Structure 1
């Protein structure tokens, strides 16, 4: 596949000034691909699967499917208002352009530059390898009340056309403001009775202490799609033990369900997939 490759100038790579130019380049890369036929139309696919739509709408984070051919969302979970403070409808109407408008001005250029760099790497890969690629980026958005929210966006390739061009990305956006606050407190606060070296302990080490090694093994398998009986066979423990660990992890992390538990460990990078 021959993808559109737009080389950035030295100024665009090193300066936050040309933010609008960088976003325009990214949009051009996506809009100008010579797209072919696609097997699934996600505009109707989710609506025709009520159970799937219910699951996506009730997750602990914003879930979206972006159509790169139009830069509009084929699907956007209904919790946008709850998490971002902006209506689902305005995102659906304006697409990616609206997200660009609410990103913190200081983060616009580095955020889209990171996406462009990853995209250029992606389209250089053979088509069969593209679905294996994932992108994690952090940026800030400004909410309607003026408050700043730290966002972790995790995305992956969802669909390619018959020519190998990527047509849809699927991702989630999580509010990690609390995690960022915890990191800041660890770096700037000197607790009474603690030595300075304690302040250098990574946040992942602190949060990881909440869950045992066995619990991390189990939650990694849960995140990979294993059922409790499969996990029991994999780890040579009983089905009851797996469910007991699952319930204790939900309680320890103050999660409402398994979905929030998985989001908890993934946003804190407590588990890694080979």
Structure 2
């Protein structure tokens, strides 16, 4: 049957498919719009599957905070051009909100299908590369920070002793500064307790060998190793790093100073750091 240009345009606007594909789908569906759209989705999913082997090393980091619940997601694609695409950005933000609202740590089959359909529309391999949720209580403060065009995304959780403390302006400023700090210095661990014991042991052995080569007495070697290990931990552990707003204080110490000033508890107890391409 004959297909009008208006119908083709309508289908193209709805699906993002090419003019020729839309015309072919409408013809095959005898002009039925819903059937034609289904045909295009099936075609799109097939083409997306063909693209699944292509590298998707670009993307965008999304964050979402709602009260004591938050999430951060790395939605990958193949080019930075697509990472700035309005459909890509809107779909990523909507998906993360849905995941956080439902406390999901993985996509449902329906969500996976929608992601593939987006890839078919944009014509790139798109997938959720990383996803993390962060939750707290009413006395916790969770803040987010996105750097640049979504190249880096951070969530930070500050635990306090009350809702009043959590809503204090100085505490909120500290929380945001901690998020900025994480984006700038990309800590690997929250604190020394979070570091893999096997990794610590390996580093201690390395430092011991280095110190022993100096020909120093055992007690001096032990002191050198302890100093090197503490310095290393201060480089990789968030709470021990020199604070971005005052490098004379550690991140933890800066929080303690605010706690003394306002008369409450202020402690960095959680964070998530995602970056595109890592």
TM-score, normalised to structure 1, is 0.28
Q: Which has the higher contact order (CA 8 A, sep 6+)?
A: 2
Point out the structure with the larger strand share. Answer: 2
Tell me which structure has the larger Cα radius of gyration: 2
